[in-house]
Amino acid sequence: MLKDFFSLIFPRTCLLSRVPLAKGEHLIATQAIINLPKFDLNEENTALIRRVYSFAPVENAWAYYKFSKHGKVQKLLHALKYQNHPEVGELSGKWFGYALQENVSKAKIDMIVPIPLHKKKQRKRGYNQCDFIVWGLAEILDIPWSAQILVKTENTESQTRKNRMERYRNSYQAYAIRKGANIKGKHILLVDDVVTTGATLGACAKLLLVGGCRAVSIAALATPE
């Protein structure tokens, strides 16, 4: 009752469309979710595969949202990463998980692993957005996940001015497998929030394969078409 009273005085609004949220909606209006541009997961995402496969031989590559500059998906990611809304990651991870259920079942994934942040950046932000995406994914897919497999050892500078190979070399040197991580013979689903060149995912996938994984598949919450 009290919650409904406050909603009348201070109406909750959608992060994307700014329209008032209906009862039962959380953070993002249902219509806004439906209108977000998404990939057809029944079709092979050849662009994403090309981006990552040139760095590491991944088994599968899936992306959920179609990313474009100044679009709704960028706004969603901005809320997740910079506006202290980690719950957007969990919600998006769940939606992605529902869409991926059949694909992942066929792939026989053993574990889901997020791309880590450097400890300084995570301290500053307060959380790693990829952890929340993976949390939502793992809950729906009913697959164990761990944020204790990979570690970012170097707080790298911005990679926006680097070409693809420079980004890959930079990333390969900046990440490592944690000592004692149990990855031998496992098929790991490696998850990132947004993929542009594929260098970070490719570098981390290569590390996991060299470290003894049976296979690595990748999932990006968003990527350009």
Q: What is the pLDDT along the chain (225 residues), one digit of tens a residue?
A: 434 433 444 458 888 888 888 887 888 888 888 899 999 998 889 899 998 988 899 999 999 999 999 999 999 999 999 999 999 999 999 999 999 999 999 999 999 999 999 999 999 999 999 999 999 999 999 999 999 999 999 876 655 566 677 777 777 788 999 999 999 999 999 999 999 888 899 999 999 999 999 999 999 999 998
CB-based contact 14:76 (threshold 8 Å): no
37-41 contact pairs (CB < 8 A, 24+): 37/65, 37/66, 37/68, 37/71, 37/72, 37/73, 38/64, 38/65, 38/66, 38/99, 39/63, 39/64, 39/65, 39/66, 41/99, 41/100, 41/103
> Structurally, how many domains does the chain consist of?
2
State whether 173 and 102 are in the same domain: yes
- What is the residue range of 163's domain? 37-223
Please give the C-alpha separations between residue 42 and each of 36, 100, 104, 224, in angstroms, as whole numbers. 18, 9, 12, 17
State whether 83 and 166 are in the same domain: yes
Neighbour-count burial for 167-187, b at 16+ CB within 10 Å, e otherwise: bbebbbebbbbeeebebeebb
**Residue 200 belongs to domain with CATH number:** 3.40.50
State whether 15 and 47 are in the same domain: no
State whether 43 and 140 are in the same domain: yes
The single-letter code of the amino acid at 158 is: S
State whether 125 and 16 are in the same domain: no
The pLDDT score that the predictor gives to residue 19 is: 85
The pLDDT score that the predictor gives to residue 28 is: 87
CB-based contact 103:62 (threshold 8 Å): yes
State whether 2 and 74 are in the same domain: no
The pLDDT score that the predictor gives to residue 161 is: 63
